[in-house]
Amino acid sequence: MAARKVKGTYDVLPSESHAWHALEEKIRFILGLYNMKEIRTPILEYSEVFHRDSEASDMVTKETYDFDDRSQRKLTLRPEGTAGVIRSYVENKLYASQELEKVYYLGPNFRYERPQKGRYRQFYQFGVEAIGGIDPALDAEMIILSYDFIKRLGLKGVRVRLNTLGDDSSRAAYQKALETHFLPVKDELCADCQRRITKNPLRILDCKVDQDHPAMINAPVTRDYLNAESKAYFETVLEYINAAKISYEISPRLVRGLDYYSHTVFEIEADIEGFGAQNILGGGGRYQKLVKELGGPDLGGIGFAFGMERLLLALEAENIDFWTEPALDAYIIVSSDRLKADAVKILYDLRKADIVSDMNYMNKSFKAQLKHALRLNARYLVILGDDEYERGMVAIKDTKTETQEDVLLQRVERYLIEKMGEQR
C-alpha cells in the first residue's frame, strides 16, 4: 500500500513554499511596526491547559487531539495558540516586569473537525497577544492592527465586525436571558443546542444548524444586558477606533467561539468572490480570567488570530501576488566529469559570496543541463567546457541579454559580483 497523508492534513510542496515564506515575512514586518516580539511555545501541552472547567466550547469538548504518553500523562496537541502563550507567560513569570507583554506566534494547531477548503485538521495560525493590562485603547490597537494587516496584504472591502460581552455580571445576565429565551423552544433545536441551553447558552449563537430558526433570529442581544461600567468601556473602545478613522459595524450577536472572552470581541472580513462564509479571515477578543485560571495573577489580555491557509487562498482568489519564485543567480554547466571538482570549487566560492547558485548532480547531458538551468530561470550560465578549460577559462552567458564572455577560472566570482552589482 502506498503511503498517504493523514486526512485533514496537506503538503506544502517546493513550488508553493515561497508563498508561505513571503507571507510569514510580511507578518513579521507588520507586527514589528507594532512592537510585537515573537514567542514560540510547544505544540504539546498538558491537557489541563486547554481542558479547563470554564471552557466548554466545541473546540475543547469535541475537537482536541488528546492522548496519554508512556508515563500516562495526559497531553493535548494545541488546538489554538492563546492558552499555551498564557501558560508560558505565567510559568516564566513574564508578569514580574509589570509591563505589558506584546507577543506574536506562528505555527501549527490541531482540531478534529470536518476538513474543507481552507480548513484542515492540522492548520497554521499566526496570532497576537497583549497581556497584562486592561485599557480600551489597547483593545482598539488590536482591532486597528488586524484591520491594518489585511489592508496591507492588498485585500479589498475590509470590514471590522465587533461586539462586547461586557464584564462578568453583564455576561451572566445575558446568559440568563438567553437561557430563558431558548428554553421554550428547546425541543426544536439541534442536540448540541439543547445541551448548551443550560450549560453554555452563548454557544447557541454560533450554531450553523439552527441559524435560521426564528428563536435565533429574535434572540436577545448583549447591549441590553450591559451594566454602566461595561457600556462605558465599549463606548471608549469605539471612540479610539473612530479616532483612527477605521470603519466598522457592531454585530450584536457576535460572541466568538471560545468561552474565555469578555468585553470586546471582533472579526475581520474581506470581500472575496466565491468565499462565502470563508470571508471571515480572523478575529479575537479580550480575556480577563485566563491568566489567573492558569496560575498567574489577576491580569487581563487581548488577542487575535488569522488562519494562514485562508489568507493564502484569499490572496490567490484576488490575484494578489507580493512574492516572486526564487530564481538562481548562476548555474554551472559541466561538459565532462573530469571538470566536476572545479565546478564544486566554483560553486562553493559563489555561495560564500552570497550568489544563489547550483549545478547538475544527475549526470545529465550538456543539452539537458542547459534546459534545466533555463527552467530554473538562472540569470548566468557558468559553462565549464573542455576547450575553455584548457585555456584556463570558463564561458559565462547572461541569459537575459544573450551575451557571452570568456572569463579566467580564478575570476568567476569577482566577475559575477561586478555584473550583479551593475544590475542593482
Indicate which CATH number applies to the domain containing 374: 3.40.50.800
Burial of 22 per CB tally in 10 Å (0-12, 13-18, 19+): middle
Residues 22 and 162 in one domain: yes
Residues 42 and 158 in one domain: yes
Please tell me the distance from the alpha carbon of residue 158 to that of residue 86, in angstroms, as a whole number. 29
Residues 31 and 102 in one domain: yes
Q: Where are the alpha helices (DSSP H) in 319-395?
A: 340-352, 366-375, 386-390
CATH number of residue 121's parent domain: 3.30.930.10
User: Are the C-beta atoms of 145 and 34 separated by less than 8 Å?
Assistant: yes
pLDDT score of 277: 58
User: Are the C-beta atoms of 162 and 250 separated by less than 8 Å?
Assistant: yes
State the residue for C-alpha cell 471612540. Answer: 239
pLDDT score of 37: 97
Residues 396 and 370 in one domain: yes
Question: Does any domain span residue 111?
Answer: yes
Question: Does any domain span residue 200?
Answer: no
Residues 283 and 142 in one domain: yes
Residues 347 and 255 in one domain: no
Question: Does any domain span residue 267?
Answer: yes
Residues 254 and 383 in one domain: no
Question: Does any domain span residue 199?
Answer: no
Question: Does any domain span residue 260?
Answer: yes
Q: Which of 317, 342, 359 is the last residue of a domain?
A: 317
Question: Where do the DSSP E strands lie in 235-291?
Answer: 248-250, 261-269, 280-287
17 Cβ contact partners less than 8 Å away, ≥ 6 residues apart = none
- Give 404's strand partners: 397
Residues 339 and 313 in one domain: no
Q: Angle CA(340)–CA(345)–CA(349) in degrees, nearest 5?
A: 145
Torsion of CA 222, 174, 195, 67, to 10 degrees: 80
Question: Does any domain span residue 253?
Answer: yes
Q: What is the pLDDT along the chain (424 residues), one digit of tens a residue?
A: 799 999 999 999 999 999 999 999 999 999 999 999 999 999 999 999 999 988 777 788 889 999 999 999 999 999 999 999 999 999 999 999 989 999 999 999 999 999 988 889 999 999 999 999 899 999 999 999 999 999 999 998 899 999 999 998 998 898 898 888 988 888 888 888 888 887 788 878 877 788 888 888 888 898 899 999 999 999 999 999 999 999 999 998 888 766 788 899 999 998 887 776 558 899 999 999 999 999 999 999 999 999 999 999 999 999 998 888 888 999 999 999 999 999 999 999 999 999 999 999 999 999 999 999 999 999 999 999 999 999 999 999 999 999 999 999 999 999 999 999 877 6
Q: Which of 295, 317, 339 is the last residue of a domain?
A: 317
Please tell me the distance from the alpha carbon of residue 154 to that of residue 321, in angstroms, as a whole number. 9
Q: Which of 272, 296, 317 is the last residue of a domain?
A: 317
62-70, long-range: CB < 8 A, 24+ apart: 62/112, 63/111, 63/112, 63/113, 64/110, 64/111, 64/112, 65/110, 65/111, 65/112
Residues 343 and 382 in one domain: yes
* Residues 163-208 pLDDT 10s: 999 998 998 898 898 888 988 888 888 888 888 887 788 878 877 7
What's the domain range around 125? Answer: 17-167+227-317
Residues 342 and 282 in one domain: no
Please tell me the distance from the alpha carbon of residue 139 to that of residue 302, in angstroms, as a whole number. 7
User: Are the C-beta atoms of 357 and 383 separated by less than 8 Å?
Assistant: no
* Percent of the chain surpassing pLDDT 70: 99
Q: What's the total number of domains in the chain? A: 2
Residues 77 and 152 in one domain: yes
* Residues 370-408 pLDDT 10s: 999 999 999 999 999 999 999 999 999 999 999 999 999
Question: Does any domain span residue 219?
Answer: no
This prediction has a pTM of 0.90
66 grid coordinates: 488528546
Residues 60 and 143 in one domain: yes
* Residues 14-25 pLDDT 10s: 999 999 999 999
**Which H helix or E strand runs over 292?**
helix 290-293
Question: Does any domain span residue 129?
Answer: yes
Please tell me the distance from the alpha carbon of residue 422 to that of residue 182, in angstroms, as a whole number. 72
